[in-house]
């Protein structure tokens, strides 16, 4: 038996980018999977690859505390992966209340349900480098203060701190993954840089950059992110860990890299209309490498090539 065979696992946000890849990976490892399903998305990778029909579904929302209690209790969940969130920065800017409620109330409901259950051995919470907010000293380490001040970053700082609170106060086995900008096939939020640029090139249109193009980010391939979440759960550790490639790039640099790999002569259109964006972010992953013996498998270029190939196949169907 593998570690995951027949292990009861609950995944929120399972039909999103990371959730789809994670659920698929754990299904291949023969885990006993229950996913939380709110909105039906026929384009989800999880639906497209057929795994959606092979796992159990709970229909509802993470804001429903009674549903969280019932799910984690009735299915005798051993491991929780909490990925559900409102994760789009422009939406958070337009609708801060909805974002904060979803991201903050959601984590409280999940952790309260775990506290009542007594059976859960590991909770992996998908935080973000955005939880650090804007800090002068880079790269961020796990001891960097959480300082998110825009609506999305604030919601992630709050979610992260609440997770730490339940670990410290109630001894819940919470591990927090702080990743950079995750990209990969199956992301249909076209406002995000990587899928948006690839789609523009495939459609013969100039890719659009909402910012001034000079912002610096860590970009992290989705299969490496999935392996990081699984590593945290298997290690049964608690506390926060940074995960990334440690290859920060500017937005314009990342766009040009995609254009180069796709052999495109299109020019990016720089709109410079982005609001509440942090100028520079990068992560130090020394703690994960040393304590968990974790390392990314895919170099940035390799991850981009795999992502480009995924979208080429998708648009040629």
Non-local (6+) Cβ contacts of 154 within 8 A are 100, 148
pLDDT at 169: 98
Count of domains forming the chain: 1
pLDDT at 274: 78
Contact (CB, 8 A) for 127 and 240: yes
Assess if residue 92 is contained within a domain. Answer: yes
Assess if residue 272 is contained within a domain. Answer: no
Assess if residue 189 is contained within a domain. Answer: no
pLDDT in tens, 276-309: 778 999 999 999 999 999 999 999 999 999 999 9
Backbone φ and ψ for 294, nearest 5 degrees, come out as -100, 140
Contact (CB, 8 A) for 243 and 283: yes
Assess if residue 264 is contained within a domain. Answer: no
Other residues' Cβ atoms within 10 Å of the Cβ of residue 254: 24
Non-local (6+) Cβ contacts of 205 within 8 A are 266
Active site residues: 152
pLDDT at 122: 98
pLDDT at 276: 73
Instruction: Give the structural domain span for 78.
Output: 8-183+219-247+282-297
Assess if residue 316 is contained within a domain. Answer: no
Assess if residue 171 is contained within a domain. Answer: yes
155: domain CATH number is 3.40.50.720
Contact (CB, 8 A) for 221 and 303: yes
Q: CA end-to-end span of the chain, whole Å?
A: 37
Residue 208 tokens read as 């659009």
Supply the pTM of this predicted model: 0.95
Helices (H) and strands (E) in the chain, counts: 12, 13
Q: Compute the radius of gyration of the chain from its Cα atoms.
A: 19
Assess if residue 204 is contained within a domain. Answer: no
- Report, as ranges of residue numbers, the positions in the chain whose pLDDT lies below 50: none
pLDDT in tens, 12-67: 999 999 999 999 999 999 999 999 988 888 888 999 999 999 999 999 999 999 99
């Amino acid at each position: 038996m593998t570690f995951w065979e027949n292990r009861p696992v609950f995944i929120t946000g399972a039909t999103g980018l990371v959730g789809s890849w994670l659920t698929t990976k754990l299904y291949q490892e023969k885990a006993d999977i229950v996913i939380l399903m709110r909105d039906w998305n026929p384009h989800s990778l999880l639906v497209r690859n057929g795994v959606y029909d092979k796992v159990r579904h709970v229909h509802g929302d993470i804001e429903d505390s009674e549903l969280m209690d019932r799910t984690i209790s009735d299915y005798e969940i051993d491991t929780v992966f909490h990925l559900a969130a409102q994760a789009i920065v422009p939406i958070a800017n337009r609708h801060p209340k909805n974002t904060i409620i979803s991201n903050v109330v959601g984590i409280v409901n999940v952790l309260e349900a775990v506290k009542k259950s007594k059976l859960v051995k590991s909770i992996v919470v998908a935080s973000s480098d955005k939880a650090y907010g804007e800090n002068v000293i880079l790269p961020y380490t796990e001891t960097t203060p959480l300082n998110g001040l825009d609506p999305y970053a604030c919601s992630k700082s709050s979610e992260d701190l609440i997770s730490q609170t339940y670990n410290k106060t109630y001894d819940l086995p919470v591990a927090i993954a702080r990743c950079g900008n995750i990209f990969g096939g199956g992301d249909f939020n076209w406002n995000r840089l990587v899928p948006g640029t690839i789609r523009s090139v495939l459609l013969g249109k100039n890719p659009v950059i909402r910012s001034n193009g000079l912002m610096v980010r860590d970009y992290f391939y989705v299969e490496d992110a999935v392996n990081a979440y699984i590593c945290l759960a298997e290690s049964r550790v608690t506390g926060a860990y940074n995960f990334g490639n440690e290859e920060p790039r500017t937005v314009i640099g990342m766009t040009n890299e995609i254009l180069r790999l796709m052999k495109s002569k299109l020019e990016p259109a720089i709109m410079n209309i982005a609001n509440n964006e942090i100028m520079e972010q990068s992560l130090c992953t020394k703690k994960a490498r040393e304590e968990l013996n974790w390392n990314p498998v895919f170099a940035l270029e390799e991850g981009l090539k795999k992502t480009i190939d995924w979208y080429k196949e998708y648009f040629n169907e």
